[in-house]
Amino acid sequence: MFTNGFFMSINSFLDYLTSEKKYSKHTITAYKNDLQSFKVFCESEYGNQPIEEVNYAQIRTWIVSLVEDKLSNRTINRKVSSLKSFYKYLQRTNQLKVNPLAKHQALKVSKKIQIPFSEKELVSVLEFNFEEENFENVRDKLIVELLYATGMRRNELVNLKFADVDLKSGVVKVKGKRNKERYIPLIRSVQESLNKYIRYREQLATVDVYLLLTKKGKKLYDTFVYRVINSYFSRVSSKVKKSPHIIRHSFATHLLDGGADLNSVKELLGHSSLASTQVYTHTSLGKLKKVYNQAHPRSKKTNLL
């Protein structure tokens, strides 16, 4: 019946995402919550219905309920995408013949414009001088430096292990999505900050393998890093969004503005395809136009752009 069969199928699907697809815990939790939401709705509306009998009209009713709950189109699309992936899994494992979401069209969403921090804002934060140099201030500044110097994701930063940093070679090993590893060079200023942080870290009574720790010697967590970034950049920026991801966005944008090629930025960011990296080229378009106007012979004469 719907309840037991659906529940068992969800569990096997989540196991598949964990063991085969190597998705992160955060992603697995998102899938689980989305599918549980659909399961609860179906049980409430349709009772103990076999999963293979759930049709698109019923799924549309669920989508309408999400709209009525005032969820954003982006959130609704994510939930439906989770369900669609689940149905694909059921087809692949011969538990379902037809995917009821096969022809579903996603709801329209407005493109999010990510405004990166300016180089001036980043310099202001990195040159901020605390009244007191202590473990927490040194660590917090290192968090900003590592994010901006490497472009790594917040989750990647939190999961950095002490052994992942090779100061002798000047590189850091980052484990990205699906456990894909990449090596990122460390500029000299970051190496110096790491050395300073490590001296303070050695004074903690901890055997934790992770690089960045709380003052109690425990591994950092995502919201901790977010609070640090928000606190730092609130001093120098009036931008609405001040998050680790905006620093990653700034890292990519500033590299492209400085002449880095797209493939190199792709590798540094840990993207699997150029399509994901190309979003950052839009931010650099203004500078590209300026360079074009200054360099192209015809532009100088006609000022077409």
Q: Can 300 be counted among the known catalytic residues?
A: no
Q: Can 254 be counted among the known catalytic residues?
A: no
Task: Kindly provide the residue ranges of all beta strands, DSSP E only, lying in the chain, ordered along the sequence.
Answer: 165-166, 171-175, 181-185
Cβ–Cβ under 8 Å, residues 158 and 222: yes
What is the identity of the amino acid at 23? Answer: Y
- Which of 79, 154, 249, 271 does the annotation list as catalytic? 271
Q: Can 153 be counted among the known catalytic residues?
A: yes
Q: Are strands 181-185 and 171-175 parallel, antiparallel or unpaired?
A: antiparallel
- Which of 161, 173, 177, 182 does the annotation list as catalytic? 177
Q: Can 104 be counted among the known catalytic residues?
A: no
Q: Can 290 be counted among the known catalytic residues?
A: no
Residues 6+ apart with CB under 8 A from 141: 126, 128, 130, 193
- Which of 153, 154, 201, 249 does the annotation list as catalytic? 153
Residues 6+ apart with CB under 8 A from 124: 235, 236
126's tokens: 């990195």
Q: Rounded to the nearest 5°, which phi and psi values hold at 95?
A: -95, -10
- Which of 141, 248, 249, 266 does the annotation list as catalytic? 248
DSSP string, 135-165: HHHHHHHHHHHHHHHH---HHHHHT-BGGGE
Q: Can 56 be counted among the known catalytic residues?
A: no
Neighbours of 111 (CB within 10 A): 7
The residues carrying an active-site annotation are 153, 177, 245, 248, 271, 280
